[in-house]
Amino acid sequence: MIKLIATDMDGTLLNAAHEISEENIQAIEYAQSQGITVVIATGRAFYEANTPIAQTDLKLPYICLNGAEVRDESFNISSTSNLNRELIDRITDVLNRESIYYQIYTNIGIYTENPQRDLDIYIDIAERAGQQADVEKIKAGIQKRIDNGTLKVVDNYDKIKDTPGEIVMKILAFDSDLEKIDRVSEELAQSGSLAVSSSSRGNIEITHADAQKGIALQTIADRLKVDMSDVMAIGDNLNDVSMLERAGYSVAMANATDEVKATAKFETESNENSGVGKAIMKLLKEYNN
C-alpha cells in the first residue's frame, strides 16, 4: 500500500516549459486527499524548485539539492548537508585541472562566473532531451534570476568560501565533452565523502555523501513512520537512482535514462504526457484499493 510519494521535477513532474500539467496537479491532490504525503525531490535549490509549485495551490515538502536540504510544507528547513572547505577544494581542483565549467550552490544563492556558459548549458540540456531550445526565453529566465538575486555573478568563486554564514551545498559542473565528464565523475566518485550523480547527460552534480535523494526520502519516511516498501518514487535520471532503489514502488519516466529504467519496477509515460499523474492514479488504483 502506498503511503508516501516522491517525485523528481525536471524531466519528470515538469514539462519542457517547466510547468506542472493540470493532470499532474489533480493526481497529487487526489493522493493528498487519501492521506498520502507527496514530496518534491529535486536537484534544484529551493528558490528554483518553489517557482513552478508556487504557480499552483499545492503545498508540498521539498528534498532539494539532491538531499542537501529538506524543507517541510511551510518551507521550514528540517535538515541540511554541506561540503566543507577540504571537499570543496578537492572538487574544484579536479574541475579546474580539466577546465570544466561549474556553478556553486549555497544556502544563499547560485553563483556563476560566466552567465553565457549558463545559457549554453540550458540550450544543451534541451537539445539532448530532444527539445527545441527557446534561446530568448532561456536568456530572459537567466536575467530574471540575476535580477532577483538567486543567480549571482562573481569574478571569482574564492570569495564565497569566506562569507560568514554561507555554506556550499552542491557544485554543478558541465562540459559538452562527455568522455571528459565521465572521467571526472569516476575520479570524484572514488571519494567516500562525495555523492556524484547527474540530472542530464553532460553534467555532474556533486554533493556530500549524505546528500542523496534516497537518504533524504528515507529520513522523511522514518519521521512519518512509513516503511520504504510503502513508498513510491518517480524519476528520470541518475540523481533519482538512490531513491528508486529504496522505494517499494519505483517508477521510471518514458524519457528516463536506460539505467533508471533498469532500476525501476514500473514505467510511465513521458513528462510531456503527464507521466507522473498517470503513474500516481494507476498505482493507487491497483495497490490502494
Q: Are residues 99 and 31 in the same domain?
A: no
Q: How high is the pLDDT of residue 135? A: 81
Beta strand 62-64 with 69-71: parallel, antiparallel or unpaired? Answer: antiparallel
| pLDDT recorded at residue 130 | 63
Residue 57 shares a structural domain with residue 198: no
String of b and e for 188-200 (b: at least 16 CB within 10 Å)?
A: beeeeebbbbbbb
Q: Is the pLDDT of residue 163 over 80?
A: no
Q: Is 40 helix (H, G, I), strand (E, B) or coil?
A: strand
The rounded percent of the chain whose pLDDT value lies above 70 is 97
Q: Band the pLDDT of 131: cuts 50, 70, 90.
A: low
200 and 216: one domain? no
pLDDT of residue 136: 85
Cell of 146: 540575476
| 56 and 77 assigned to the same domain | yes
Residues 6 or more apart in contact with residue 262 via CB below 8 angstroms: none
* 217 and 76 together in one domain: yes
What tens digit of pLDDT does each residue of 14-66 get? 998 889 999 999 999 999 999 999 999 999 999 889 999 999 999 999 999 99
State the pLDDT at residue 145. 83
Active site residue 8: yes
Please determine, for residue 185, whether its predicted confidence score (pLDDT) is greater than 90: yes
Considering the domain architecture, whether residues 75 and 107 belong to the same structural domain is answered as no
Domain range for residue 159? Answer: 85-208
Task: Convert the pLDDT of each residue in 202-243 to its tens digit.
Answer: 899 999 999 999 999 999 999 999 999 999 999 999 999 999
Candidates 8, 118, 124, 236; catalytic one: 8
Read off the pLDDT band of 176 (50, 70, 90): confident
At 144, the pLDDT band (50, 70, 90 cuts) reads confident
Residues whose CB is less than 8 angstroms from the CB of residue 241 and which lie 6 or more positions away in sequence, other chains included: 197, 214, 235, 259, 260, 263
Q: Domain count of the chain?
A: 2
In degrees and rounded to multiples of 5, residue 186 shows phi and psi of -65, -40
The CA angle 5-7-10, to the nearest 5 degrees, is 175
- The whole-number average pLDDT for the span 121-136 is 72
What's the pTM value of the predicted model, to 2 decimals?
0.91
Of 208, 227, 249, which one is at a domain's C-terminal end?
208
In this structure, how many other beta carbons lie within 10 angstroms of the beta carbon of residue 278? Answer: 17
The Cα 29–Cα 205 span in angstroms is: 31
pLDDT per residue as tens digits for the range 251-279? 999 999 999 999 999 999 999 999 999 99
Domain boundary among the residues 177, 208, 239 is at 208
Q: Judge if 36 and 93 occupy the same domain.
A: no
pLDDT tens-digit series, residues 52-111: 999 999 999 999 999 999 999 999 999 999 999 999 999 999 999 999 999 999 998 999
What distances in angstroms separate CA 168 from CA 40, 68, 77, 108, 157, one per listed residue?
Answer: 21, 10, 16, 9, 11
Categorize the per-residue pLDDT at 150 as very low, low, confident or very high, splitting at 50, 70 and 90.
confident
